[in-house]
Structure 1
Amino acid sequence: MTAEDALTLFDDVGPPVPPEVAVDDRLLRVPRIYAEPAAAASPRGRQVITRFPDAEVLEVPSHWQIPELHGNAGNVDRWVRVKTETLVLGVKKSLAARPNERSANWIAPSTANGCAMACAYCYVPRRKGYANPITVFTNIDQITGYLRRHVARQGPKPAPDQCDPVSWVYDIGENSDCSVDAMVSENVADLIATFRGLPTAKASFATKYVNRQLLDLDPAGRTRVRFSVMPERDARVLDVRTSRIGERIGAVDDFVEAGYEVHLNLSPVVLREGWEDDWTALLEQLDDVLSPAAKAQAAAEVILLTHERALHEVNLGWHPQAEELLWRPDLQQPKRSQNGQSNVRYRSDVKRAGVAQLTALIAEHAPWLRIRYAF
């Protein structure tokens, strides 16, 4: 059915929310939306459908059960096209905050899964098979209600930790990029508004896309944006369909001024010939560009590359150039991740030396940049 037909079919739930937010058509030109019936009928689902008025809406029993997408190896050669042309609407069935204690204290229930960008090292495509376009979870009121109750149960944070000295930190974007999600629905705006009213907690998400519409959301210091950065030489190959590194760095001051806490993810650190010189140049760029106010509140996560054999095989089908950087059996060893995935990472001796070298470069060229953790 067309978007108009879908809205008519479910018109008993009230008028759709108008599409206030501009959508970057370089990332999303959506002719089809797969939707669970309950998701399409919800106010948030209707908002998404209204935002893409030319899309055909296809009913599916579950956002996990779409044969055209999930496990379809034929989609490898359409990797980027699927991300551009497809959205999914679903209802988040299980609501739970998972302990993390690395980047955040808790991983919040997802309000989206998948991404319109196509970073070659991203682990999220493994969750639903090939391509994994954006799935919007439309039961946002249930999710934000759960988060408010969860935060209340924690009480005040008893002691500082590497996540934050005062507040409980909730990662709201583990399986998606919130800056892109904010173009598709108001879920991210609702999350930022929720944490604005929670004095003992703050939201956090990493991003590789500069969405300046987020500057209007008044986070009041309760949302941390972590801009991921790497040398441009690596990003041109690996960060497909993302904002350029210079654009991300250039946005930091504006986000600080708008009331966000802004950190930097130095991630992923790819060890290859000449990496030290390129990271030195990036750190000098950060030191030159960022304002004193941005530097005063900045902190960094240093994350060396983790990869995975199945994703390596997928990448060979659509972007083999990336694997020249990512797949280094001479330097890598098996690793079991926190979430149980079987990955590969740099050998312990190689990784230890890489972390030490980058840490020394930060101390020399950006001494104001506090390292929250490095691994």
Structure 2
Amino acid sequence: MPEDTHATSGLLDVATIYHEPAVTDYQRGREILDRFPRAERIVVSSHWNLPGLHGNEGIAEDWLKIKKTVLVLGVRKTMAVRPNGRSADFIAPSYSNGCAMACAYCYVPRRKGYANPISTFVNIEEISRAIERHSSRQGAKLEPNQVDPRHWVYDIGENGDCSVDALISDNLRDLVAQFGRLPHAKASFATKFVNRDLLDYDPRGKTRIRFSLMPRDVARMVDIRTSPIEERIAAIDDFVAAGYEVHLNFSPVIYYEGWLEDYAELFDQVDGSLSGRAKQQLAAEVIFLTHNDRLHDVNLAWHPRAEDLLWVPRLQEAKVSETGGRNVRYRQGLKRRLVEEFGSLLRRKLPYCEIRYAF
């Protein structure tokens, strides 16, 4: 996979690669290193322990620069497949975490502190084998559920954006091909980046892409370094034609004055852009905003304007997370009303779009 201008001069311009010693033992690791021959290489004991990056409060102001110029390579140790039940039936072992984009609400940086570049795992064959073993044990899906009527669905992008990962390596291409062969399994991932290289893959109807959407002006504030909303909507028909199942991911839904009017405009834009074929297979998931005190502090260092939308204590209530952080979400009574209003509007504007779940 040779170095190209699309990957290096736009979203990524890799100048430094931190990598575990064993990375060079894997073909995928060598391919990635060869793809960025001019990058400085720094050997580290673990992809979770990057000297000068993880836990370094002083570099929060360089949030965007680090995302663009730093890449981390590691070897995934654990291969657990976890049950889910909302976006997917199962969460597959991640082949990456972190992202070159910089959505102000992203939960992944809560574990990494003050730097969140892409970490890519090079032992993709082991990850693929773990998925195949699990799928084989599951066998056929005998009863439909809200995730999918026929296949067991595996989320392969829980901790990053697969469309961006595809700029770095062929990990995504390999998994899309694998799920195309598995008789009872389907891959799924959400994305905010339109990577048209994926149109040349061979999904065979067995990969579900969930394009994340929100009102344009809000996206400009909080979806930093992502594809414009108009570009995401315009891509849906092309990805359906290429053999993908395409759903919508309304996440996070952010409440502010005039929010419903903005979503009505967004739904009209979706309705006016999609072909009949795309509408026929369309479904959506709806997830209202959850924020976090640690991420709030990071954002104040590099993008404080976003916090005017995300951190609104008079509307939110706290919940302590499993890792000890202080998450905030809309107050229970308010959120219940917002979910009902959003669902009613969506059903009226896009009556053919099933709401798979909303919370």
Q: TM-score, normalised by structure 1?
A: 0.93
The 8 Å contact of residues 8 and 14 in structure 2, kept in 1 or not, is answered as: no
- Classify the secondary structure of the residue corresponding to 1:204: strand
CA distance in 2, matches of 1:292, 1:283: 15
CA distance in 2, matches of 1:341, 1:102: 23
- 2:321 is equivalent to residue 321 of structure 1: no
Look up the match of 2:349.
365
1:186 to 170, 177, 181: 170
- 2:23 is equivalent to residue 42 of structure 1: no
- Computed over aligned residues only, the root mean square deviation of the Cα atoms, in angstroms, reads 1.4
CA distance in 2, matches of 1:109, 1:316: 32
- 2:134 is equivalent to residue 124 of structure 1: no
Letter matched to residue 131 of structure 2: L
The 8 Å contact of residues 264 and 349 in structure 2, kept in 1 or not, is answered as: yes
Deviation at 1:302, TM superposition (A): 0.7
Look up the match of 1:243.
227
Deviation at 1:126, TM superposition (A): 1.5
* Residues 263-285 of structure 1: per-residue CA shift (max 9 Å, x gap): 00011111000001000000000
Look up the match of 1:140.
124
CA distance in 2, matches of 1:100, 1:293: 29
Deviation at 1:131, TM superposition (A): 2.2
- Classify the secondary structure of the residue corresponding to 1:230: coil
Letter matched to residue 346 of structure 1: Y
Look up the match of 1:53.
37
Deviation at 1:22, TM superposition (A): 4.2
Point out the more displaced range, 275-284 or 33-42.
Answer: 33-42
Distance 1:33 1:44, change over 3 A: same
The 8 Å contact of residues 40 and 89 in structure 1, kept in 2 or not, is answered as: no
Distance 1:245 1:315, change over 3 A: same
Deviation at 1:27, TM superposition (A): 1.2
- 2:196 is equivalent to residue 217 of structure 1: no
Once superposed, which parts of structure 1, at least 4 consecutive aligned residues long, lie more than 6 Å away?
Answer: none
The 8 Å contact of residues 221 and 306 in structure 2, kept in 1 or not, is answered as: yes
Deviation at 1:18, TM superposition (A): 4.2
Look up the match of 2:190.
206
Letter matched to residue 174 of structure 2: D
- Classify the secondary structure of the residue corresponding to 2:189: strand
- 2:146 is equivalent to residue 162 of structure 1: yes
Distance 1:291 1:336, change over 3 A: farther
Letter matched to residue 47 of structure 2: H
User: Could you list the runs of 5+ residues in structure 1 that have no partner in the other structure?
Assistant: 1-16
Distance 1:264 1:127, change over 3 A: same
TM alignment of 1:24-35, pairs within 5 A = 25-35=9-19
Distance 1:300 1:320, change over 3 A: same
Look up the match of 2:159.
175
Distance 1:328 1:357, change over 3 A: same
Deviation at 1:258, TM superposition (A): 0.2
Look up the match of 2:137.
153
Letter matched to residue 136 of structure 1: T
The 8 Å contact of residues 30 and 85 in structure 1, kept in 2 or not, is answered as: yes
CA distance in 2, matches of 1:252, 1:32: 34
The 8 Å contact of residues 102 and 225 in structure 2, kept in 1 or not, is answered as: yes
CA distance in 2, matches of 1:157, 1:341: 37
- Identical aligned pairs, as a percentage? 58
The 8 Å contact of residues 294 and 325 in structure 2, kept in 1 or not, is answered as: no
Deviation at 1:233, TM superposition (A): 1.2
* Residues 5-64 of structure 1: per-residue CA shift (max 9 Å, x gap): xxxxxxxxxxxx544794152211111101111113321111111111210111111111
User: Could you list the runs of 5+ residues in structure 2 that have no partner in the other structure?
Assistant: none
* Residues 256-306 of structure 1: per-residue CA shift (max 9 Å, x gap): 000000000011111000001000000000010011100100100011111
Look up the match of 2:98.
114
Letter matched to residue 207 of structure 1: T
CA distance in 2, matches of 1:83, 1:66: 14
Look up the match of 1:14.
none
Q: TM-score, normalised by structure 2?
A: 0.97
1:196 to 180, 202, 206: 180
Letter matched to residue 26 of structure 1: G
